[in-house]
Structure 1
Amino acid sequence: MNFKTIIEPFRIKSVEPISMTTREDRVRYLHEAHYNPFLLSSEQVLIDFLTDSGTSAMSSRQWAAMMDGDESYAGARSWEHFRDAVHELTGMPYILPTHQGRAAERILYGQIGGKGKTFISNTHFDTTRANIEFSGAEAIDIPVQESRDFESDFPFKGDLDIEVLEQLIKQKGAGSIAGVILTVTNNSGGGQPVSMGNARAVRDICHRHGILFILDMCRIAENAWFIRHREKGYSGKTYLQIAQEMCSLADACVMSAKKDALVNMGGFLTLRSKSLADACTQLLIITEGFATYGGLSGRDMEAIAVGLREVFQPDYLHYRIKSTTYLGDKLKALGVPILFPVGGHAVYVDARRFYPNIPIEHYPGQALVCALYELGGVRCVEVGSVMFGKYDEQGKLVAAPMDLVRLAIPRRVYTQSHIDYVVEVFEAALKERDAAKGFRISYEPKFLRHFTAHFERL
């Protein structure tokens, strides 16, 4: 029998207090933070949906494993546990531990990138694009056409456009393409899943042209859930088997373990090529640490080894996907324009449709994240023209393809009552949206401006 209530498949042993604030408090806090939620103190936030990266609650088994951490500099027992868990998942012989995913990106893309090189992806995330562009290379996004239709029920809107990939290879020349990156799930594309069929097609094209195929697999367990339930031929396979099959297609894997390894810090890079692994290992040792710990302590590696196995438990993944869908369905029923179907780790709101009265150059996504914080203390993030916008030669904004607001839900942290509260905050935002105003940027750095930019209300 199917019940309507989604219960968390765990009990709570420890709690962390939330500071309750008033709207007057939050108006002041937001002004002091220059209308950038990244600059708020965590104690000023009631519900923190800024990111699902490193914000998970670890299990009792993970905490127990941390107590057994071996902090030896080289060849630690904890490294062996970490290595075995990563190898079980990816099947790759060369494993480089890093302190988080962007360190793995910097090492790999710094090694194979550079001026004149091109990376192609379903959608590059912010740190991925920044590491690529910092090397002097260019990053091109080619999501499938269906990803632009927010209302359709196309099951794999995270897929990469195969036809456009072939065209770009012909246009650029295979020798200039440093790698094709498939991000699963497609975070900047609305947290949408990628099909196994698409991953296989990308692999075939890359191998035919001698191009490196890279899997950004930080949410691979969530992606496996969608494949099992939506793609023909996978209903009888376990989530782990599906993830292993996808990894088997790639030449390299990058993972921020702060997502689907259920930990607060960590990541890795895995490779099949010994020569590339040797070159990347030298960069690892120079910038992160020795090859058997990278940027991680032994206790971090122990927690990752446990988390990489816990994340594929069916009860956990059912709860994870269904609880995210619960929020999306509630918002959709209110008339909030969301990207549909709901993804695995977050709900994405179309800020352009939420605020049709705010021009794109006045950043409707930033207006919505500020409104949600002011009204209810909910912190989330703009994924649009603040995060990905650029300027033309005349200094005019070149807007991002979409202006979204991401409500990224930490794993095993919030209960259904917290989610219901967020729905009420959106009800309040809908009532006030006609009076909403946009923002202008008063300060921004060259790279990743959304983290530290300052805004002024118009």
Structure 2
Amino acid sequence: MDRTIEPFKIKMVEPIKLTTREQRETILRSAHFNMFQIAAEDVIIDLLTDSGTSAMSSKQWSGILDGDESYAGARSWYRFESVIRDLTGMPHVLPTHQGRASERILFELVGGPGKVIPGNYHFDTTRGNIEHSGARAVDLLTEEASHTRSRYPFKGNIDVNQLNRLIDDVGAEQIPLCVITITNNSVGGQPVSLENLRQTHDICQRSGIKLFLDAARFAENAWLIHERESGQKHRSVREIVREMFDLADGAMISAKKDGLVNIGGVLLMREDDLAQRADSLLILTEGFVTYGGLAGRDLEAMAQGFTEVLDEDYLAYRIASVAYLGQRLLDAGIQIIEPPGGHAIYIDACEFCPHIPAEQYPGQSLVCAFYRHAGIRAVEIGSVMFGKNHSHKELTRLAIPRRVYTKSQIDYVADAIIEVHQQRQTLRGLRITEASQTLRHFTAKFAEL
């Protein structure tokens, strides 16, 4: 029988508070139409992010009880280091409290005024840390990523021709490293192919530029390579993962995604000198190098999570469940970024509500509509998030937490969005009434037009 089911049993449950539309209307207005300002207990289905929202396994919870809380050289650190080295082959492993801490350390060391950091599409915190250092973040999207309906399997790729031109224009000496985000969150959770990684590696190596991975969703990217890329079907996900990291000089990982934990990050490096400098900065700002701002129990949970995420039954279920939601929306005439990616479904907000112009933030309008109608919390990926740097689409992202929601809850999401789509002409645009200069989407206040 060809049917995908959840490859796990539910051992513990958390109640969901069901709210009325009238209650949600009051909550939405009190939050100034910003989902980040709504209390989690007032959300029925939370698709704001897949970061730190995973349900941990029984083995992860038992590891938490077994965690060694010694300040230096804890048993839990050595287990964590062994798992990461075996997975990635990287000699230098630094634990951090989350991915953006890894970004901050890295770009404080290699960034600075006059530096240019190219990538396939920097996510918001990556861009924020690059620009905070004084460097310039440059996105080099492949052409296929701009076509919503295209079923091109690797829309997350970097445009290698643009990368070559950038190197010629600004000079390799101004480019300390290139960042490839796997999967590419900002363009629909789309994967990067091994062929593209190999080409990028060769270009960077010839030019003396380091290649770093933003590898928060490395396992999902590897599974999509396994399923979509010619010549990869016979290889295990672990083998593909190892080749991905073998092509890189380092990586930043938010363990809150494919690490299947609620807190934690990793910074990986090959170069001894860079790693020594990173160690010093880690000690100054995060903690000693064998705990990096985390408890020993967190290191235990991460070690187990990075092991479990390579289970191919889990990955098959994970990708299929996301694709199921995407197909239900497509069947109802709702345009998403095609094909569905790894961790989320991205709705094309301009096509959903074409009467709302881009300058009135249609993605944020959808976010508010989904919460108002059904208590679903999603996030805008567009002009609100990226501001003046935005050059891509106006999207609304439905990020699916790992091992959290059942098929009936995903059907609830699909049904609700289809109902909103049927009354989309009633949706209204928004204007920003208050916003910070950096990462404004977290705290911005809106008013409906």
Common fold: TM-score over 0.5: yes
- Specify the SS of the correspondent of 1:163: helix
Q: Which of 56, 59, 83 lines up with 2:57 in the alignment?
A: 59
User: Out of 189, 193, 196, which is 1:195 matched to?
Assistant: 193
1:429 paired residue among 402, 409, 420: 420
5+ long unaligned stretches in structure 1: 391-397
Q: 1:171 aligns with which of 169, 172, 186?
A: 169
Offset at residue 424 of structure 1 (A): 1.1
Contact 1:160 1:198 in 2 (8 A): yes
2:351 paired residue number:
353
Q: Distance in 2 between matches of 1:267 and 1:436?
A: 39
Alpha-carbon contact 1:144-1:158 (below 8 Å) kept? yes
What is the aligned partner in structure 2 of residue 223 from structure 1?
Answer: 221
> For 2:353 and 2:108, how far apart are their aligned partners in 1?
39
Which of 391, 401, 407 pairs up with 1:410?
401
Cα separation, 1, equivalents of 2:313 and 2:187: 26
Return the offset for 1:431: 2.0
What is the rounded CA distance, in whole Å, between the counterparts of 1:87 and 1:253 in structure 2?
A: 12
Q: Which amino acid aligns with 2:2?
A: N
- CA shift at 1:113, angstroms? 0.2
Match of 1:418, SS state, is helix
Secondary structure of the 2:268 match is: strand
Q: Which residue does the alignment assign to 1:395?
A: none
84, 92, 95: which one pairs with 1:94?
92
Q: How does 1:293-372 map to 2 (within 5 A)?
A: 293-372=291-370
Alignment of 1:235-246 (within 5 A): 235-246=233-244
How far the C-alpha of 1:184 sits from its partner, in A, is 0.4
Structure 2 letter corresponding to 1:195? S
Give the CA deviation at 1:163: 0.3
Shift of 1:357: 0.3
Match of 1:109 among 107, 110, 131: 107
User: 1:439 aligns to what?
Assistant: 430
**CA distances 1:61-94 after superposition (whole Å, capped 9, x unpaired):** 1111111100000000000000001101110111
Structure 1 match to 2:124: 126
Q: How many residues in Structure 1 have an aligned counterpart in Structure 2? A: 449
Counterpart AA for 1:199: L
Report the Cα offset of residue 295 of structure 1. Answer: 1.2
Determine helix, strand or coil for the equivalent of 1:388: helix
Q: Specify the alignment match of 2:447 in structure 1.
A: 456
Q: Distance in 2 between matches of 1:98 and 1:361?
A: 37
Tell me which amino acid in the other structure corresponds to 1:207.
Answer: Q
Contact residue 362 and residue 438 of structure 1 kept, 8 A: yes
Which whole-Å CA distance do the structure 1 matches of 2:241 and 2:329 have between them? 30
TM-score for both structures, normalised by structure 1: 0.97
* One-letter amino acid of the counterpart of residue 41, structure 2: E
Matching residue of 1:2: 2
Match of 2:372 in 1: 374
Amino acid at match of 1:184: I
Distance 1:172 1:375 in 2: 49
* RMSD across aligned positions (CA): 0.8
Aligned residue identity for 1:87? R
2:383 corresponds in structure 1 to 385
**CA contact under 8 A between 1:389 and 1:400: conserved in structure 2?**
no
**1:275 and 2:273 are equivalent in the alignment:** yes
**Alpha-carbon deviations, 1:230-283, whole Å to 9, x = none?**
112211111111001100000011100000010000001010000000111111
The runs of 4+ residues in structure 1 deviating greater than 3 Å are none
Residues in 2 aligned to 1:429 and 1:72: alpha-carbon distance in whole angstroms: 52
For residues 213 and 24 of structure 1, the distance between their equivalents in structure 2, rounded to whole angstroms, comes to: 51
* Alpha-carbon distance, 1:389 to partner: 1.7
- Distance in 2, matches of 1:225 and 1:334, equals 27
**Following TM superposition, by how much is the alpha carbon of 1:399 offset from its aligned partner in structure 2, in angstroms?**
4.9
What is the Cα deviation at residue 212 of structure 1? 1.0
Paired residue type of 1:348? Y
Matched, 1:162 2:160: yes
Q: Are 2:128 and 1:137 aligned?
A: no
Letter in 2 for 1:434: Q
Q: Distance in 2 between matches of 1:115 and 1:240?
A: 39
C-alpha separation between the residues in 1 aligned to 2:262 and 2:128?
22
Gaps of 5+ in 2: none
Tell me if structure 2 keeps the 8 A contact 1:361–1:399: no
One-letter amino acid of the structure 2 residue matched with residue 242 of structure 1: I
CA deviation after TM superposition for structure 1 residue 229, in Å: 1.0
TM-superposed CA distance for 1:15, in Å, is 0.3
Amino acid at match of 1:405: T
Residue of structure 1 in register with 2:410 after alignment: 419
Does the 8 A contact of 1:97 with 1:268 survive in 2?
yes
Give distance in 1, aligned partners of 2:141 and 2:88: 24
Q: Which residue matches 1:393?
A: none
Aligned equivalents of 1:404, 1:436: Cα separation in 2: 15
Q: Is the 8 A contact 1:144 1:157 kept in 2?
A: yes
Q: Which amino acid aligns with 1:2?
A: D
Aligned to 1:394: none
Matched-pair contact (CA < 8 Å) for 1:78–1:301: yes
